[in-house]
C-alpha cells in the first residue's frame, strides 16, 4: 500500500506589512457559506494575509420556491459588505468572486447579483459545476500525494456534491471525469423535512445517494481501480473537516491540525454513526458542530457514508481548502505571465 505522508499546508498566514506587495482576493459564495481569502504571491504559493467566513444559508427555501428568499439575501449581502471592506483596506490588484449551486439554480439569481453589486460593489458570477470542481482540484493539488495513479476527490456542499476522478500520472493532475450531484446538506435536509432521522431513514438516504453514484462509478471503472491497485480519496467539505476535528477531540476548530489529516474508514463510520444517532439539540452543544451546523450534519454524514461505502478506500485525506485557493492560484499564475 502506498504511504500517505502527512501534508504541510502550503497556504501560510501572515499579517501584511504596510506598503508590501499587491494582493489578490477570492470569494466563494456557496449555498451555505460565504468565504473569502486575501493573499499575496510567493515562491511557495499564496500567502494568506486575511480571510473571512460566515454561514449565510443563501439556499434556504430554494428547494421549495425556486428563488433566493429575502432573509437569505439580506444575510448574504451583510457578509459581502464585510468582504468588500477587507478588499478595500488591502492593496488588492485582482479579485474574482464566484457563486455556486444556489445561484446556478435560483430563478432570481440575476436580480440578486445586481442588488449585491449596487450595495457592496462586488460583482458575482455563477460558475458551472465543472469549473467549481476544477478550481477545487487546483486548490487541493498540494494534498494529492502518496504515489497513487488515481484519486477520487469529493466536495459535499450545501446545494450540490461534486466528485472528480483524477489522473495523477502526469506532471499536473487532471480530471478524467466529473460528476455534480444536485444534492447537498441544505437541500437534502429540506427534502427530509427534519434535521434528525431514524436509523432506518438514514439507511434509506445512504442507499438513495449510492444509486446516484453508480453510473459515474460504472462509466470510469472506479471501483475496479480501487480493488486492483488502490487510489487516493480526498474529501473537502464542512462535513469531513468537522468529523476530523471531532476525531482529534478539538475544543475549537483548528485548520492547521485538520487540513491534510488522514482518517481511517472505521473512524469515519464510528463518527458518522455517532452524529446521526444524536438529536439536533445534542449536536448543537458539541464544540466543533455548534448551532449553525447542527441541523445539517446528519445529511452530510449520509452523503459521506454513501461515498465511502461505494468506494472502500480504507482511508480518507481531509482537505480544508478548495475553490478560494484554486481562484488565488489561477489569478497569480495569470498575473505572472503578463
Domains within the chain, CATH numbers bracketed: 12-128 (3.30.420.40), 130-318 (3.30.420.150)
**What is the pLDDT averaged over residues 2-23?**
48
pLDDT at residue number 5 = 33
CA distance linking residue 320 with residue 139, whole number of Å: 10
Query: What is the SS3 assignment for 173?
Result: coil
**Model pTM score:** 0.88
- DSSP H helices, the chain, are 62-65, 70-89, 101-105, 109-120, 129-140, 185-192, 199-220, 222-228, 238-248, 255-258, 265-277, 280-284, 290-293, 297-310, 323-337
**What is the pLDDT averaged over residues 288-294?**
88
Position with higher pLDDT, 213 vs 42: 213
* Per-residue pLDDT reduced to its tens digit, 309-330: 999 999 999 999 999 999 999 9
Sign of CA dihedral 312, 318, 323, 325: negative
* Per-residue pLDDT reduced to its tens digit, 180-201: 999 999 999 888 878 888 889 9
Nearest to 297 by CA among 270, 273, 320: 273
CA distance linking residue 72 with residue 78, whole number of Å: 10
Q: How many residues does the chain have?
A: 338
* Per-residue pLDDT reduced to its tens digit, 252-275: 999 999 999 999 999 999 999 999
Amino acid at each position: 500500500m502506498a504511504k500517505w505522508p502527512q501534508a504541510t499546508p502550503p497556504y501560510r498566514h501572515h499579517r501584511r506589512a504596510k506598503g508590501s506587495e499587491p494582493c489578490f482576493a477570492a470569494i466563494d459564495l456557496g449555498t451555505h457559506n460565504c468565504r473569502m481569502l486575501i493573499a499575496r504571491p510567493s515562491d511557495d504559493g499564496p500567502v494568506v494575509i486575511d480571510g473571512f467566513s460566515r454561514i449565510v444559508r443563501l439556499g434556504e427555501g430554494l428547494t421549495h420556491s425556486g428563488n433566493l428568499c429575502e432573509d437569505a439575501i439580506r444575510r448574504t449581502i451583510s457578509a459581502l459588505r464585510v468582504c468588500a471592506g477587507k478588499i478595500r483596506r488591502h492593496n488588492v490588484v485582482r479579485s474574482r468572486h464566484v457563486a455556486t449551486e444556489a445561484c446556478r439554480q435560483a430563478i432570481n439569481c440575476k436580480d440578486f447579483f445586481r442588488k449585491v453589486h449596487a450595495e457592496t460593489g462586488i460583482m458575482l458570477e455563477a460558475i458551472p459545476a465543472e469549473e467549481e470542481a476544477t478550481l477545487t482540484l487546483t486548490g487541493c493539488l498540494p494534498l494529492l500525494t502518496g504515489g497513487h495513479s488515481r484519486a477520487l476527490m469529493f466536495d459535499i456542499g450545501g446545494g450540490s456534491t461534486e466528485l472528480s476522478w483524477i489522473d495523477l500520472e502526469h506532471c499536473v493532475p487532471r480530471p478524467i471525469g466529473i460528476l455534480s450531484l444536485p444534492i447537498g446538506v441544505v437541500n437534502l435536509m429540506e427534502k427530509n423535512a427534519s434535521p434528525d432521522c431514524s436509523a432506518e431513514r438514514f439507511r434509506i438516504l445512504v442507499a438513495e445517494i449510492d444509486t446516484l453514484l453508480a453510473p459515474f462509478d460504472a462509466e470510469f471503472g472506479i471501483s475496479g481501480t480501487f480493488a486492483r491497485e488502490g487510489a487516493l480519496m480526498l474529501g473537502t467539505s464542512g462535513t469531513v473537516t468537522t468529523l476530523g476535528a471531532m476525531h482529534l477531540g478539538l475544543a475549537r476548530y483548528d485548520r492547521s491540525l485538520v487540513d491534510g489529516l488522514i482518517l481511517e474508514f472505521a473512524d469515519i463510520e464510528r463518527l458518522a454513526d455517532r452524529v446521526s444517532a444524536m438529536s439536533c439539540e445534542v449536536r448543537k452543544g458539541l464544540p466543533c458542530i455548534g448551532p449553525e451546523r447542527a441541523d445539517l450534519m446528519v445529511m452530510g454524514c449520509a452523503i459521506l457514508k454513501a461515498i465511502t461505502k461505494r468506494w472502500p478506500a480504507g482511508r480518507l485525506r481531509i482537505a480544508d481548502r478548495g475553490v478560494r485557493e484554486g481562484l488565488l492560484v489561477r489569478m497569480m499564475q495569470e498575473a505572472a505571465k503578463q
